[in-house]
Amino acid sequence: MTKAAVFTGASDALEIWDIDVAAPKAGEVKVRLAASGVCHSDLSILNGTIPMAPPMVLGHEGAGIVEEIGPGVTLVQPGDHVVISWVPQCGKCYCCDRGQPELCEAGAGTMMSGGMLDGTKRFSRNSTEIGQMAASGTFTEYTVIPEISAVKIDNDLPLDKMCLIGCGVLTGAGAAINTAQVGPGDTVAVIGCGGVGLNTIQGARIAGAERIIAVDMVASKLKLAEQFGATDTVNAANGDPVAAVQALTGTGPLGPRGVDYAFEVVGSSVTAEQAMSMTRRGGTMIMVGVGRVDDTLKDFSLFGELFMGAKTIKGSVYGSANVHRDVLRFAGLYRQGKLLLDELISKTIKLEEVNQAFADIQNGEVARSVILY
Ligand SMILES: [Zn+2]
Ligand SMILES: [Zn+2]
């Protein structure tokens, strides 16, 4: 038995259930969670933005200690401390072979199924099967995950901070470092300064960006953005953010220039179009936010943006992360004091308080709430 926060489909809140956890099968491990961040994508499943079938244990930003291993597991042992990846990266499919493990074909199917790599489920209640978000399901004391989703870290690293690497850091900082490949001297704009956007900002800082312009409508988030490395801030509540960013990036003979890289970290066509407009000719717009299935770009000129502008649009899934390389890389940056994690945590909460954490996300009040088990 374990206590879990479950998306039931019958309510607009998660319900706390006592559920059964099966033993790990071949190639799987059981993890006793130490901590789980509450991410906007958990809320997006609850409110239908990301379509997933209930019942499902949500949560995908976790860290814990391996409790038990299934047959054939070689990557970790009981007692190992691990960060959980929400894309199981198989290392041998078409995309993994091409250096794009974030698109792992085995992982993508598993994420949508709510089960393990073989499609079956490990959680249940009264013989009803319960799925788990993205082969992780971290809103529970115990979970079973594919061995390849468990990334071993040094035992002295604090698990209540390391959990944030599992989604917010890989997704946000990864978008700057891996997807965009921001370099020294570059100019960057980041629209949306929540848990992921703050990580995009610190990723750009770590990559050596000269100018990092943070855009949000909440003054307290812009204040945090400065702590994470923003050199300038634009409060979009006070006027057109595109004009404000262009005013900061100079004007040439053809008009206002814009930034080398504009990151959309909200998940809306409105801000995506703003990000396109903030991007300079020859620059790149990176879509990090998770938008609705039916939301599409409309104000997008083939001549102006793509031909004369020669702009690139890049989608970014999981910060183009190779989790087995990048979790360790970010843990090392934390040790060096370059990656801020403690500062991301606005609140630590109990599992039962998860719905309040969602309310805080919607009110724009927190960077991250972290559940401690
Ligand atoms: Zn997330
Ligand atoms: Zn793969």
pLDDT of residue 364: 82
Q: In this structure, are residues 73 and 46 in contact, taking their beta carbons and an 8 Å threshold?
A: no
How many C-beta neighbours within 10 Å does residue 97 have? Answer: 11
Of the bound ligands, which one is closest to the alpha carbon of residue 168?
Answer: 1
How many A from CA of 172 to the centre of ligand 1? 10
Phi and psi based region of residue 181 (left: phi greater than 0; alpha: psi -120 to 50; beta: remaining): left
pLDDT of residue 366: 80
How many A from CA of 211 to the centre of ligand 1? 26
Cα separations in angstroms, 361 against 38, 155, 364: 9, 31, 5
Cα separations in angstroms, 3 against 124, 177, 266, 346, 368: 12, 37, 31, 24, 22
How many A from CA of 39 to the centre of ligand 1? 5
Cα separations in angstroms, 341 against 50, 173, 232, 314, 347: 27, 12, 21, 26, 13
How many A from CA of 113 to the centre of ligand 2? 16
How many A from CA of 60 to the centre of ligand 1? 6
pLDDT digits (tens, 9 = 90+) for 193-212: 999 999 999 999 999 999 99
Query: What residues pack around ion ligand 1 (CB closer than 5 A)?
Result: 39, 41, 167
pLDDT of residue 298: 84
Of 372, 323, 57, 43, nearest to 166 (Cα)?
A: 323
pLDDT of residue 73: 98
How many A from CA of 65 to the centre of ligand 1? 20
How many A from CA of 102 to the centre of ligand 2? 8
Half-sphere exposure of 71 (CA within 13 A, CB side): 2
How many A from CA of 87 to the centre of ligand 2? 9
Would you tell me the crossing angle of helices 241-249 and 269-278 to the nearest 10 degrees? 20
pLDDT of residue 322: 96
Of the bound ligands, which one is closest to the alpha carbon of residue 107?
Answer: 2
pLDDT digits (tens, 9 = 90+) for 49-99: 889 999 999 999 999 999 999 999 999 999 999 999 999 998 899 999 999
Of the bound ligands, which one is closest to the alpha carbon of residue 84?
Answer: 1
How far is residue 169's CA from residue 196's CA, in Å, rounded to a whole number?
7
pLDDT digits (tens, 9 = 90+) for 1-45: 999 999 999 989 999 999 999 999 999 999 999 999 999 999 999
pLDDT digits (tens, 9 = 90+) for 119-146: 999 999 998 999 999 999 999 999 999 9
How many A from CA of 257 to the centre of ligand 1? 33
Range of weakest confidence among 46-55, 59-68, 224-233, 336-345: 46-55
How many A from CA of 64 to the centre of ligand 2? 24
Of the bound ligands, which one is closest to the alpha carbon of residue 104?
Answer: 2
The 3-state DSSP class for residue 310 equals coil
Q: In this structure, are residues 43 and 13 in contact, taking their beta carbons and an 8 Å threshold?
A: no
Of the bound ligands, which one is closest to the alpha carbon of residue 195?
Answer: 1
First to last CA, the chain: 15
Angle at 190 between CA 320 and CA 194, to 5 degrees: 85
How many A from CA of 251 to the centre of ligand 1? 37
Confidence bin at 173 (pLDDT 50/70/90)? very high
Tell me the mean pLDDT in the region 323-340.
Answer: 98
Of the bound ligands, which one is closest to the alpha carbon of residue 110?
Answer: 2
How many A from CA of 168 to the centre of ligand 1? 6
Buried b / exposed e across 327-357, counting CB within 10 Å, b at 16+?
bbbbbebbeeeebbbeebbbbeeebebbbeb
How many A from CA of 148 to the centre of ligand 2? 10
Instruction: Output the average pLDDT for the chain.
Output: 96
- pLDDT surpassing 90 at residue 111: no
Query: What residues pack around ion ligand 2 (CB closer than 5 A)?
Result: 90, 93, 96, 104, 106
Domains of the chain: 2-166+340-372 (3.90.180.10), 172-316 (3.40.50.720)
Confidence bin at 365 (pLDDT 50/70/90)? confident
The 3-state DSSP class for residue 150 equals strand
pLDDT digits (tens, 9 = 90+) for 248-259: 999 999 999 999
Of the bound ligands, which one is closest to the alpha carbon of residue 87?
Answer: 2
Of the bound ligands, which one is closest to the alpha carbon of residue 99?
Answer: 2
Of the bound ligands, which one is closest to the alpha carbon of residue 167?
Answer: 1
* Percentage with pLDDT > 70 across the chain: 100
Confidence bin at 284 (pLDDT 50/70/90)? very high
How far is residue 114's CA from residue 110's CA, in Å, rounded to a whole number?
6
